[in-house]
Structure 1
Amino acid sequence: MNPYGYMGPGWKRQQVNTCGTIVIIVSQVFFVGGIYKMKNELNPRILIFGAGVIGSIFAGKLANAGFNVTILARNERFRELVSKGLILEHSLTGERLEIKIPVINKLEKEDNYDFIIVAVQNTQINEVLPTLADNNSKNIVFVINNPSGYEKWVDSVGRDRVLIGFPSAGGVRENGEVYYFIGTGITKVFQATTFGEISGKITARLKLLIYYGKAYLRCKRGNGGIGSSI
């Protein structure tokens, strides 16, 4: 049984071994109520909106796995990424990743990404919501710890564009380098990174997001509500 549910005529399936994980990609995904399609499921255009610790981890790991990643940064962080590239070092193993990633300092209305992953601090979200609302991209993933709920995000960008993520990762940024760790869900202390829909439903785009995330994390999906996982 395929993980996407019913697939109509004309669909293609490819298996790609990415960092030891089999990622199943389809060119068209059919589901009850309509057709869900992305321009390029095999190599989606992903924007990481925010270049702090969490944004840097997402950007570096996804880019290193071969995905088409751009990162948005501002001020001194923008200049660091342009001049030095993105530098990650695992706080336990010492493994280093130094990689050049396309970097921008402004999101334009006509910029179109398959997923925008928003990784800014909760105190900064009100400032960036108008920019996200004005942009044409269809899938905006908020990986922000927000105890007050998601209705303001929904009101700003539209319910059909919002996905939620909990990043099981952390670290510090010093002198332009990020020292980090990633939770794997093996112990109860650190759950795996989790993604979900506001509705709690398992959708085609959520499954695609999970498969992309498995390129570098032990990702899980929300099942019956945000925060729960399979």
Structure 2
Amino acid sequence: MRILIVGAGAIGGYFGGRLLEAGRDVTFLVRPARAQELDRSGLIVRSPQGNILYPSPPQVMAPMLDQTFDLILLSCKAYDLDTAMDAFAAAVGPDTLILPLLNGMAHLERLAERFSPDNVLGGQCLISLDRDASGAILHLNDTNQLSFGELNGGLTPRILKVAEALADAGFDANLSQQIVQEMWEKWCFIATGAGITGAMRASIGDVIASDGEFLVLKLLAECASVAEHAGYAVRSEVRQRFQAMLTTPGSKMTASMLRDMERGTPIEVEQVIGDMIARRASSDKHASGGLSALDFVHLHLKAYEARRIREQS
């Protein structure tokens, strides 16, 4: 199976690097600056699961992309989706499968509109990654799961081929028959974790130490209500696990959104929080008579974006 990894950033570089080391047919679609980094230093991953140093990994830039691929692994920031689709459009044929690992849910509709619903799979990853100033990818925890599946949950011949291509490659490749449910649950977790740590500019442990547990639980409950309204109620055992992770005293957990804010770079505020607000039931809007937790974190994160844009203009 010929695999195109769109970008060689933290997520694409990590999973693409693992697949390369496992001998899979992988090509990275990169921009000129990243192409120069890869040519100069190779693909570098520092991970508790084993480091990777892959000199001069196979790569291509959008103007030279002139053939279709079997599988496209899409891991760009959600706000870069339109640019990414333009870049990899030439690689999409009638039988190409697009496996997106973006936050939120809106990208599924946009990918289906741009290409075809038949091209689009569901996907998510559970991993904490970052990049240092040199471009090296840093794996920050012990989890490296990539889940994927048909949006209708079917065990089709094509999804079984994807499972075979991703298996035994140094990460946990999970073929899921309820991938949309899992994507909604992850969105609730990301929206809560990113919303809290980003809005408060602090780790989970610092928020809890400041008596902020009530706000964490309120935000999680509001996100779970949106998921339930959409027909994907967060399962009780999953919600309990999320609550434990998001209220652990002393936890150093922060979202990648906060790290982006600390760097002064764009954030996925509209894709992670704004779209969650847009999808909530009308009865949930300001149900308490005051500012909801979702509205509160949305306001704080939009203020960051407004300041970033003003200072960079």
Letter in structure 2 aligned against 1:46: I
Task: Within 5 Å, give how 1:104-143 maps onto structure 2.
Answer: 104-106=60-62, 110-137=66-93, 138-143=96-101
Alpha-carbon spacing, 1:67–1:107, altered in 2? closer, same or farther (3 Å): farther
Match of 1:144 in 2: 102
Counterpart of 2:46 (choices 85, 89, 94) is: 89
Count of residues paired in the alignment: 177
1:60-99 per-position Cα deviation (integer Å, ceiling 9, x unaligned): 1000001111111113222101111101111x46x32101
- Identify unmatched segments of 5+ residues in structure 1: 1-43, 185-191
Matching residue's letter, 2:98: I
Flag as ranges the 4+ runs of structure 1 deviating above 4 A. Answer: none
Higher strand share: 1
**Alignment correspondent of 2:135:** 176
What TM-score comes out, normalization by structure 2 length?
Answer: 0.52
1:164 equivalenced with 2:122 (yes/no): yes
Q: Residues 87 and 225 (structure 1 numbering): CA distance in 2 closer, same or farther, change over 3 Å?
A: closer
Task: Report the Cα offset of residue 199 of structure 1.
Answer: 2.1
The structure whose Rg is larger is 2
CA RMSD of aligned residues (A): 2.2
Pairing 1:61–2:15 present: no
Aligned match of 1:219: 173
Deviations 1:178-217 (A, max 9, x none): 1114525xxxxxxx42101122222112112122222222
Q: How far apart, CA to CA, are the structure 2 residues paired with 1:139 and 1:107?
A: 21
Secondary structure of the corresponding residue to residue 121 of structure 2 = strand
Amino acid at match of 1:118: L
**In structure 2, what is the equivalent of residue 26 of structure 1?**
none
State the partner residue of 1:202: 155
Structure possessing the higher relative contact order (Cα contacts under 8 Å, 6 or more residues apart): 1
Is the contact made by 2:69 and 2:91 (CA closer than 8 Å) also made in structure 1? no
Secondary structure of the corresponding residue to residue 161 of structure 2: helix
Matched, 1:98 2:53: yes
Q: Which has the higher helix share?
A: 2
Q: Percent identity?
A: 24
In 1, Cα distance between equivalents of 2:18 and 2:178: 28
Mark the runs of 5 or more structure 2 residues left unpaired by the alignment: 184-313
227 and 81 in structure 1: CA distance in 2 versus 1, 3 angstrom threshold: farther
